[in-house]
Structure 1
């Protein structure tokens, strides 16, 4: 299910932040995590591929990519005005993650998120909490434990197939 081009989740986050900003929007951390999730879900369903290898976790407010949450938690519920960074060992400095998303993957992301970027975070949260959806199945799991509250690709696919 992986494509020759999978991206770091920070790369996807920065690309989405740039896209949103170019359309007059600045998502919050919660909204950004949901937009990435919906883009990931869309690519998985439409193209049978992953945009990123990052783990998706079920948190109280929906699906979360821990690296994205951590990168932007300083903003709290305010709009994000920065970009995700990484440490460059060659230059011994922190730098913005430069998104190099292929055009075909940009098209997939745009198709998934363009109708959603103007929605408030709480609406995106509600959409991700769809009863019977992947987040709901993990959050309300019936087994004795679910280490890391991981939302798997299999669960995303299963949830979408049964909701049709």
Structure 2
């Protein structure tokens, strides 16, 4: 399992290298989808931080706060190279993260918001008032 900030750095840097670009809103949805793929394929979460159901879909609050200064523009990568970041991840995890980013690269942030808001994990959490999207609910929905 990884720290969500390490996963975020990977996503941002990979997106920049591939010339995809990624906004904070899109990043939130990609993190949710990476968590879902990890749960489906390994039965384990990729990261421990909780995902919350906000008005605009799944959000990891600490990640949102860190990158909110970028607004709807693309987040700029940090100083480390992609190769340097990749060394911190197991091969299968790298493959999974890149697969999710590649698969959803052509989706806009709005498209991903709609996609995730039409799924039971977000709907159930958003409607319950608790707001936390539980890993077991994600796994159950996608299984």
TM-score bin (small chain): 0.7 to 0.9
The Cα shift of 1:82 comes to 4.3
Return the structure number with greater relative CO, CA threshold 8 A, min gap 6: 2
TM-score, length basis structure 2:
0.88
In 2, Cα distance between the equivalents of 1:68 and 1:31?
A: 12
Q: Is 1:105 aligned to 2:114, yes or no?
A: no
Q: 1:82 to 1:21 in 2, by over 3 A?
A: closer
Q: Is 1:127 aligned to 2:122, yes or no?
A: no
The residue aligned with 1:138 is 125
Structure 1 residue runs of 4 or more that deviate by more than 3 Å after TM superposition: none
Count residues with an aligned counterpart.
136
In 2, Cα distance between the equivalents of 1:16 and 1:117?
A: 11
Q: Secondary structure at the match of 2:95?
A: helix
The Cα shift of 1:111 comes to 2.2
The Cα shift of 1:112 comes to 2.3
Unaligned runs of 5+ in 2: 79-83
The Cα shift of 1:18 comes to 1.0
Contact 1:43 1:50 in 2 (8 A): yes
In 2, Cα distance between the equivalents of 1:154 and 1:104?
A: 22
Alignment of 1:31-70 (within 5 A): 31-70=26-65
Unaligned runs of 5+ in 1: 1-5, 84-97
Contact 1:35 1:117 in 2 (8 A): no
Instruction: Identify the structure with the greater helix proportion.
Output: 2
Over the aligned positions, Cα root-mean-square deviation in angstroms equals 1.5
TM-score, length basis structure 1:
0.77
